[in-house]
Amino acid sequence: MTKADIVNEISKETGIEKVTVQKTVEAFMETVKDSLVDGKNVYLRGFGSFVVKKRAEKTARNISKNTTIIIPAHNIPSFKPAKTFVSEVKNQVKS
């Protein structure tokens, strides 16, 4: 499902114009991104959490040059779904 599909579904279910829904969805995504950049986690009860995870420094191999490189410690965004979300998907997804 793409962002356009999400906008269409929300517009269809709520009766709100697509342009307004698109601005709202984009504002939501921008707010989540800005919060994570500032180091603040975003918690949505019943849905999940957008969190910043710290990755430790590690050693890796550059196989084309056969050298060892060090990847420095860094932060990455991550999503952890809520337990109710996980159980609903687990029990109702059609194979």
pLDDT in tens, 51-82: 999 999 999 998 899 899 999 999 999 999 99
CA distances from 64 to 60, 61, 67 (A): 12, 9, 8
CATH architecture for the domain at 41-95: Irregular (4.10)
**Could you report the per-residue pLDDT of 12-34, keeping only the tens digit for each?**
999 999 999 999 999 999 999 99
Half-sphere exposure of 31 (CA within 13 A, CB side): 8
Domains of the chain, residue spans: 1-40, 41-95
| Among the listed residues 56, 53, 60, 46, the one whose alpha carbon sits nearest the alpha carbon of residue 79 | 53
The pTM for the full model equals 0.78
Tokens of 9: 């579904």
The maximal CA–CA distance of the chain, rounded, in angstroms, is: 59
**Could you report the per-residue pLDDT of 83-94, keeping only the tens digit for each?**
999 999 998 877
Query: Which residue has 């159980």 as its token pair?
Result: 87
Residue pair 8/18 in contact by the 8 Å Cβ criterion:
yes
* Alpha carbon of residue 58 to chain centroid: 24
